[in-house]
Structure 1
Amino acid sequence: MKTKFLIGAFALLSTVSFAKYEPYNFNMLGLSIYKGHNQPDAFGAAGRDSYLEVEGANRYKLLDLYWFLDRNDIFKDPKSSKYNNSETVFVKINPRISIDGLINKDLSIGPINEWFLSYTYKGTNGNHGRLDYHYVGLGVDLNVPKMDFFKANLYSKYNNKNFGAHENQWDGYTVAISYGATIHDFQNGFKLTFGGWGDYDFDLKTSERGENAKKTALALNNQVRLSYNNFGVSYTYQINDNFTGRNQANSDENNHSYGVHYTINF
């Protein structure tokens, strides 16, 4: 199925009339502190957490890169769900290589602005075992009305580590999206924005483990942010269904958080 998908995608690209590829470059670096509530947990009670996040978004010619690192329980709160927990760091790295750039052609067609070869790594450590995922597939940038950007990727997912379940094996597929829009630019310098991301896993093989493991999982995260120059405050709400592919404990708990941010563009 994976081979047929890739062959079909490149066959579609071969039908497109080409124009010259013209890349653009940008860099963003952000530092955030979040206070989260009702954090989902497939192995225990939902709880709260305060965490530091460092993130970056970079585009240089063919390379489109997004990454972040979360450090949990930064205030050592005894009531935090991560207090004295070995699950202290979560990292995501998503490099994408422009197919348009590789062949020096503009492959845009309809709402698709650009095509990418896409890879994502997600990893963490924890009391319940280690999470270590690899995703490979195709990505696109889409032109969506009213949106500043809209990115979509279709992946095949490989579990290196998965809390002891279905490890060192391919494990289903993932549709991953991210998006952002400007709600309003105020004349006094304030800016109100909306953005988020969503991951939908399907055909998960972890469902073979037992009745609490499921074939699908969903996380949909949306944030409203008010910014002034480099500073901002935000509210985030995330919908979860079968968190980490399991329907047990508090895996379906929806969570929300408040954040403060400092962001630079260069």
Structure 2
Amino acid sequence: MKKSLLALAVIAASSASVANAADYSDDIYKNDHKWLQFNAMYAINEKPQPAGNDNNHNYLEMEFGGRKGVVDLYGYVDIFDLAEDDSDNNNKKGADKTFMKLAPRFSIDGITGQDLSFGPVQEVYFSTLFNWGGGNGKPFDSTNNSFWGVGADVELPWFGKVGMNLYGLYDINNKDWNGYQFSTNWFKPFHFFDNGSFLSYQGYIDYQFGADDTFKGNSQATHGGAMFNGLYWHSDNYALGYGLKAYNDVYLIEDKGPTDLESSGISHYLSATYKF
């Protein structure tokens, strides 16, 4: 499942009116903002997919997030295959038609009332991430994972503010820990047009590591992940984008292993967005 980046464009577009100070001792609500958008998506060769089977499918995504007091929230709900049947080249055939992600982070700066920024680190968080659905079972029942850890907003040269999180993965279905994940995301406007619209390079990395090669009797990779690289055009109300996503044993599924799934390779995403 993708972690969408169009949301970062909304936040960046309004950043001029949002305070950047991490010291919340005077007002924990000074950085409050919220946003909502709908994305029409088309995925080409999305991984994992059955070996030798081109996996193309469409989906509608409702994406939302913002900041309220000490809580920084990102989330989305995907509804798959709105405009096509369950064809043989679609890995959503017989699978869940819904997937939901919620990623609330809790500002330690805001909770303690202390400015914990240092060097390039702007703000520190207790970070969580929850996934439901999207597998081969009942909706919101087949793939239930939670991630728990720490995060930070980090200022990097050229990229600007980058979100970073280090989690431990707790498998809700199996009720056990299953390694770690490092996640980072970025959004960089690099060309502005006279009408106020702009082009951006945006992307993310999700990298899992430290897992056992066998989990609850099932063989798995010990590390793997995905990197998304997107080129997007943004206006106040719309966005159009293309993303190239590179996989390596994504979700700890061994490429062409016991499940005969391709979990490594390249996929492409096309998107059209309406911003509320």
- One fold, TM greater than 0.5? yes
Give 1:34's match in structure 2, choosing from 32, 36, 41.
41
Partner of 2:55: 47
Q: Percent identity?
A: 24
Tell whether 2:231 aligns with 1:224.
Answer: yes
3-state SS of paired residue (1:189): coil
| Worse-matched range after superposition: 72-81 or 177-186 | 72-81
Shift of 1:212: 5.5
Query: Structure 1 residues 36 and 225 mapped into 2: Cα distance closer, same or farther (>3 Å)?
Result: same
Tell whether 2:102 aligns with 1:63.
Answer: no
Query: Structure 1 residues 237 and 84 mapped into 2: Cα distance closer, same or farther (>3 Å)?
Result: same
Query: Structure 1 residues 150 and 58 mapped into 2: Cα distance closer, same or farther (>3 Å)?
Result: same
Partner of 1:184: 191
Structure 1: which 5+ residue stretches go unaligned?
1-17, 162-166
Q: What value does the CA root-mean-square deviation take over the aligned residues?
A: 2.2
Shift of 1:43: 5.1
Structure 2: which 5+ residue stretches go unaligned?
1-21
1:215-263 Cα shifts (integer Å, max 9, x gaps):
0011111211112221111001111110221122211131101110112
Shift of 1:83: 5.4
Give 2:97's match in structure 1, choosing from 43, 65, 88.
88
C-alpha separation in 2, matches of 1:197 and 1:69 = 19
C-alpha separation in 2, matches of 1:260 and 1:113 = 32
Give 2:167's match in structure 1, choosing from 155, 179, 195.
155
User: Is the 1:223–1:236 contact (alpha carbons within 8 Å) kept by the matching residues of 2?
Assistant: yes
Q: Counterparts in 2 of 1:1-266, with a 5 A limit?
A: 21=25, 23-41=30-48, 45-79=53-87, 81-82=90-91, 84-127=93-136, 130-161=142-173, 167-205=174-212, 207=214, 213-247=220-254, 248=256, 249-264=261-276
C-alpha separation in 1, matches of 2:24 and 2:33 = 20
Shift of 1:42: 5.4
- Amino acid corresponding to residue 197 of structure 1 in structure 2: Y
C-alpha separation in 2, matches of 1:222 and 1:83 = 24
C-alpha separation in 1, matches of 2:218 and 2:102 = 32
| Number of aligned residues | 242
Query: Structure 1 residues 206 and 43 mapped into 2: Cα distance closer, same or farther (>3 Å)?
Result: farther
C-alpha separation in 1, matches of 2:49 and 2:92 = 17
Instruction: Give the TM-score normalised by structure 2.
Output: 0.80
Shift of 1:147: 2.6
3-state SS of paired residue (1:102): helix
- Amino acid corresponding to residue 264 of structure 2 in structure 1: D
Shift of 1:146: 2.5
User: Is the 1:77–1:83 contact (alpha carbons within 8 Å) kept by the matching residues of 2?
Assistant: no
3-state SS of paired residue (1:205): coil
